[in-house]
């Protein structure tokens, strides 16, 4: 049994926003789209690939809850990469109310908000 995951199906480091200056650039110049459950900040990067950061602060609860939210959101990104435009950096910040949603509800709301962000 082979546990091979195709390259375009993961969440590699080059698809993550990792440097402080990149975060600052997105926060300063990015377009903000908000709804009841998420805040998405997007900024054109010109890198030829999409990059994503998921920010979940300590106010959401203990590490277990924060990691649970991040895992769900990473999985949504991983399975829907084609819906994120190229050359764009996105920071996704969930609201605390996301804790009460199911995976499917998070997915539907996040994808709807992304679609709105890139219209």
Is the pLDDT at 3 greater than 60? The verdict is no
Say what the pLDDT of residue 87 is: 82
Catalogue all structural domains in the chain, each as residue range(s) with its CATH number: 12-117 (3.30.230.10)
State pLDDT tens for residues 57-113.
Answer: 898 889 999 999 999 999 999 888 888 878 888 999 999 889 889 999 999 999 898
Q: How far is CA 65 from CA 38, 103, 105, 116, in A?
A: 16, 14, 17, 28
State pLDDT tens for residues 31-57.
Answer: 999 999 999 999 888 777 888 999 998
CA distance 50 to 118: 13
Predicted TM-score (pTM) of this structure? 0.84
């Amino acid at each position: 049994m082979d546990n091979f995951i195709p390259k375009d199906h993961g969440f590699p480091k080059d698809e993550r926003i990792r440097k402080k200056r990149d975060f600052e650039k997105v926060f300063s110049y990015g377009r903000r789209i908000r709804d009841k459950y998420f805040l998405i900040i997007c900024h054109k990067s010109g890198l030829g690939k999409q990059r994503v950061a998921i920010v979940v602060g300590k106010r959401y609860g203990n590490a277990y809850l924060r990691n649970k939210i991040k895992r769900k959101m990473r999985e949504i990104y991983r399975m829907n990469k084609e819906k994120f435009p190229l050359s764009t950096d996105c920071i996704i910040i969930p609201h605390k109310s996301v804790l009460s949603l199911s995976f499917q509800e998070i997915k539907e709301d996040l994808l709807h908000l992304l679609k709105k962000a890139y219209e």
